[in-house]
Amino acid sequence: NICFKIDEEVAKLLELKAHLGGDDGKHQFVLKTAKETLTGKYGEDSKLIYDLKDQGGELLSLRYDLTVPFARYLAMNKITNIKRYHIAKVYRRDNPAMTRGRYREFYQCDFDIAGQYDAMIPDAECLKIVHEILSELDLGDFRIKVNDRRILDGMFAVCGVPDNMFRTICSTVDKLDKLPWEAVKNEMVNEKGLSEEAADQIGVYVGMQGGMDLAERLLQDQKMCQSTQACAGLTDIKLLFSYLQLFQVTDKVVFDLSLARGLDYYTGIIYEAILTQAGVAPVAPETSNEAPTEECVTVGSVAGGGRYDGLVGMFDPKGRKVPCVGVSIGIERIFSIMEQKAEASTEKIRTTEVQVMVAAAQKNLLEERLRLITELWNAGIKAELMYKKSPKLLSQLQHCEESGIPLVAILGEQELKNGVVKLRNVATRDEVDISRADLILFPALLLLDHHHYHHHRHSDSH
């Protein structure tokens, strides 16, 4: 009997193994993120990782961002080039500040380009995408700061920072967007034990901002030149700006030596987008009463990213590297700003994709409405109706106004008799009678072109 028991257990285990994938490493699903997968990737931000214990006492962690899981995915599946975006939740043991769009659980949208390519072309595309998104969302003025990890490391080296302190000094420099230079210098010298002289030299550089001209100036800089790393970074920044000019985005991009981004996995270019609109919940420094030194109030970073060429190699058993560059967009922070803007203005946020509401002017027209909405759906038009047999016309129109549905197709006895539908523009309240056959073609035109609509309206003979 005991043999039978053992056989049964072995069979169960084999079944589970088959389920998880064979020895060839093709796993059907990833169960969890072991704690060690995440450690050593984030530097001083590691303390913000959420740790959990499973029933077996194994230490696990919730993902801190989408970049490390992406790198692990590439390594596991031996993918050497891919371009993709991903929207998902991440978790941080941070002090939440709802008004400023800082949460413990929030959505991020990541866009990454992985593969062995020529310098700065994919990097420039990532910046183009950030520029496009922030322009399109119309959140107000913004600025994209760029720097390079190699320039930072080179700068630390020539300023006399010991090698083993690069990362920790880097995460202190990263606080410059929240703290004045005095506080940052104080942390370097008194908490981290850097010499005052080295800190002052760093202070000179981190105050510099500019464009391609600054990169050229620094390439001539007696001190910076001593670092081959910094020179390589500066040459790439120049190249980057030449591509950004072609992409027509240099108006918002600034080369800023104070940008550090505290994460350990960056190896090259780094960037961060900040909104500079006054009047939208400013991010105040948490520990000091000083205002940010920026000439305009910032809302904190809404996107950030950079190049991380070594991360995939950390997960690959043979250490094979896949160069990557990407950007992370803080969706919830953007939402909180959009909501604040909407509250401040009278503008309605459109909460639906619906183009046409199918409405009835009289009672008992449910069947007709169902017929009409089916015609619209079959034609690929996004339409909606109220789930009532005899809704009031007013409540149907109010629903459109509240949720921003632009058009209403109204059915009544008269319209049915004439084989037409009354199409009403919710915003202007203009109406036009249109045949059922034309209706399928019409909403698309209408949404594209209001002039067309007025032209139609006046030339119709009805």
Burial 214-252 (b: 16+ CB within 10 A, else e): bbeebeebeebeebebbbbbbbbbbbbbebbeeeebbeb
Q: Which two tokens stand for residue 103?
A: 């949460």
Whole-number Cα distances in Å, 324 to 123, 222, 297, 312, 415: 9, 32, 33, 8, 60
d(Cα 211, Cα 152) in Å, to the nearest integer?
Answer: 16
Which has the closest alpha carbon to 81: 40, 36, 116? 116
What is the 3-class SS of 257-279, one letter each residue?
A: CCCCCCCCCCCCEEEEEEECCCC
Annotated binding site for L-histidine: 65-67, 92, 108, 112, 261, 265-266
Report the run of H or E that residue 105 belongs to, with start and end. Answer: strand 105-114
Q: What is the DSSP letter of 190?
A: I
Which has the closest alpha carbon to 112: 374, 434, 327? 327
Report the run of H or E that residue 34 belongs to, with start and end. Answer: none
Instruction: Label the pairing between strands 431-435 and 269-275.
Output: unpaired
CB 289 within 8 A of CB 153: no
Q: Which value, to the nearest 10 degrees, does the dihedral of the CA atoms of residues 145, 146, 152, 158 take? A: -90
Report the run of H or E that residue 424 belongs to, with start and end. Answer: strand 420-425
Taking the mean position of all CA atoms in its chain, how far away is CA 130? 8
Annotated binding site: 65-67, 92, 108, 112, 261, 265-266
Q: Which value, to the nearest 10 degrees, does the dihedral of the CA atoms of residues 92, 141, 258, 205 take? A: 180
- Which residues are CB-contacts of 293 (< 8 A; sequence separation ≥ 6)? 180, 181
d(Cα 93, Cα 107) in Å, to the nearest integer?
Answer: 15
Q: Fill in the amino acid letter for 118.
A: D
CB 359 within 8 A of CB 372: no
Half-sphere exposure of 57 (CA within 13 A, CB side): 0
